[in-house]
Chain A
């Protein structure tokens, strides 16, 4: 993606997200507070974030690739289960990724 396209994505995404925020303060509450609307909105993050975890951990373009990222993800999951703070989780994941890269070249 070129720099110009990236700027378009950044600005269009920002404008869209702002309008979604503004809509909540502007449209009649009844439009938004329908049970099925709140139902969908409550669960969109779980579906999308889980998809992003998978895509970021094991894909390169259309290929599925197992490398240090997956090992790092397992370490991160363990750290989260042990209730480690966010920054500790990220540092452990980063260190694991670097270590696997250095040791095995993955």
Chain B
């Protein structure tokens, strides 16, 4: 394989790890603001290791939601990774017990890195280096955010409360940009989800409105006839 493609893959993979690390600080701080102990936030980053699900779980807990609603929203967002696994299998072809290790790193970022690599060798390299750097950074910065937030108090609490909805908006935003596939449909579904959650809030136990918002996916309509 050409060495320039190799070094480009390495640079992209390592760089993504550093960028994603910033979200880890936000997650750790938001988890503590939601009422988790700093160690619980850290164990989530270690064992769950899929950002959107982690944010959703603590979002529901922070809103006073039930255990079932919290786990349910995390699992709904975790279904993405099942689809990613199917896409990655022919590229990575993990054998035997390596399948169990590989599975843990199947997330948005590692899938994007592996799928966009020019060949299978580089796809594996991108997955390993990207997964490794993201895993290390995500866990290190979760610790910083969680223990940092636990040490804060007073007006910092109001700041943290304001950071959490902004973090969700920042996670959502790229899907609404016109460059995203079917951005107009994504916007319609997002608006539908927001309306469902808002309308249900006074009437259902906290957290249930978040899981219920999944019905807004119906606004996307049936699959298009041209299959991928």
Are A39 and B220 neighbours in the complex by a CB distance under 8 Å?
A: yes
In the complex, which residues of chain B have a beta carbon less than 8 angstroms from the beta carbon of A75? 166
How many Å from the CB of A27 to the closest CB on chain B? 8
Main secondary structure of the interface of A (DSSP, over half): helix
Q: Is the CB of B194 within 8 A of A53?
A: yes
Q: How far is the CA of A1 from the CA of B106 in the complex (A)?
A: 30
**Interface residues of A, CB < 8 Å — how many?**
79
B70:A76 contact, CB within 8 angstroms: no
Which of the candidate stretches B5-13, B94-102, B114-122, B132-140 sits at the interface with the other chain? B94-102
Pairwise interchain contact A96-B48, C-beta atoms closer than 8 A = no
Partner of B47, one of A18, A23, A94, A95: A18
Most interface-central of B50, B162, B222 (chain A CB within 10 A): B162
- Beta-carbon contact of A41 and B63 below 8 Å: no
Number of A-B contacts (CB under 8 A): 320
Q: In the complex, are the beta carbons of B50 and A90 less than 8 A apart? A: no
Q: Is the CB of A59 within 8 A of B206?
A: yes
Contact of B104 among A9, A21, A37 (CB under 8 A): A21
Which of A14-68 touch B at CB < 8 Å?
14-18, 20-27, 29, 32-33, 35-59, 61-64, 68
3 tightest Cβ-Cβ pairs between the two chains A and B: A24-B85, A97-B162, A47-B193
A23-B85, A42-B220, A90-B167 known; 8 new pairs, CB 8 Å cut-off, are A24-B83, A27-B86, A45-B77, A47-B196, A48-B210, A52-B168, A54-B201, A72-B163
Chain B interface residues (CB < 8 Å from chain A) = 22-23, 26, 35-37, 40, 43-44, 47-50, 52-53, 55-57, 59-64, 67, 70-71, 73-89, 94, 99-100, 102-104, 106-107, 155-156, 158-173, 175-176, 181-182, 185-187, 189-194, 196-198, 201-206, 209-217, 220, 222-224, 227-228
